[in-house]
Amino acid sequence: MTANRRHFRFSLRTLFVVVTVVACGTYWIVYQRNWIRERHAVLECGVVRFFPRCTPLSTENPYDLAPWSLRIFGESPAAAEEFYLPDTATDDEVQRIQSLFPETHVCRIGEMVIDLEEESPED
């Protein structure tokens, strides 16, 4: 006597949809984790100079928060409101670091001096 078993059946289309959804989810997670790794590498290399935040972080200000896709992995916002790069930094380097830290303002040290001179009142 053989037992009458029901086998789980699914179509090839269902298999493709499940594999695609799992692959897209895995890609998204790996991409976010790589973004976090690159953020930490930039901070550890010592090229970026910054002054610690003077004001407390606010959940109401979107610039005080790391992107939501990084926060769900426990990433905290940058430790500074502005990052300063050496004058020798290229525009591509500035844009790359700005894309890694969208919650901060990234500029060259020379630009910081120019900005301060523009803000000072002239006699």
Of 2-16, 46-60, 92-106, 108-122, the one with minimum mean pLDDT is: 108-122
Give residues with Cβ within 8 angstroms of 52, minimum separation 6.
79, 80
Confidence at residue 123, expressed as pLDDT on a 0 to 100 scale: 46
What are the extents of the domains in the chain? 12-119
Mean pLDDT of the chain: 79
Higher-scoring residue by pLDDT: 6, 12: 12
What's the pLDDT score for residue 116? 47
pLDDT single digits (tens) 77-95: 887 777 888 888 888 998 9
